[in-house]
Amino acid sequence: MGRCRVAGLASVKPGELLGVEAGGLPICLARLESGEVYAIGNICSHEQIELSDGDLQGTEVECPAHGSRFDVTTGAADGLPAEDPVSTYPVTVDGDDIYVEID
C-alpha cells in the first residue's frame, strides 16, 4: 500500500489522539507532549472500541470502555482486560503533513 497522508500536524495537538483512516484501516494517531507522533490500530484488542476516543497519558492510550492501556511506541497491551497488542505503523512528519506507512 505504501505511505498515506492521514492528517495535518495542526489537527492533533500535543497530548491528544486523533482517529484517521489509512488504506482502509482505522488508525489512532497519538501526539506525545514532546511532539512526536505515533500510529497504532484504532480498535481495542479487547472489544470493538475506538482507542482514539480514549485518553493519552504519557505514552499510553487508555481505552474508554474498560480501561485497557496500550503503549503507542510498541502497541503492547499494558493493562487488563486487553491482553493482545494492537498494530503499530511507521509515521513520518513532512512539514505540516502526517504520513502513515501501510504494508
Q: How far apart (Å, rounded) are the C-alpha atoms in residues 52 and 37? A: 13
Q: How far apart (Å, rounded) are the C-alpha atoms in residues 24 and 97? A: 19
3-state class (DSSP) for residue 10: helix
CATH number at residue 58: 2.102.10.10
Q: What is the pLDDT of residues 60-94, one digit of tens each?
A: 999 999 999 999 999 999 989 999 999 999 999 99
> For residue 8, is pLDDT > 90?
yes
What pTM was computed for the model?
Answer: 0.95
> For residue 1, is pLDDT > 90?
no
Domain count across the chain:
1
pLDDT at res. 103 = 85
Q: What is the pLDDT of residues 31-45, one digit of tens each?
A: 999 999 999 999 999
Q: How far apart (Å, rounded) are the C-alpha atoms in residues 73 and 41? A: 12
Length of the chain as a residue count: 103
Q: What is the pLDDT of residues 16-28, one digit of tens each?
A: 999 999 989 999 9
Q: How far apart are the first and last CA of the chain?
A: 5
pLDDT at res. 79 = 86
Domain ranges, residue 12: 2-102
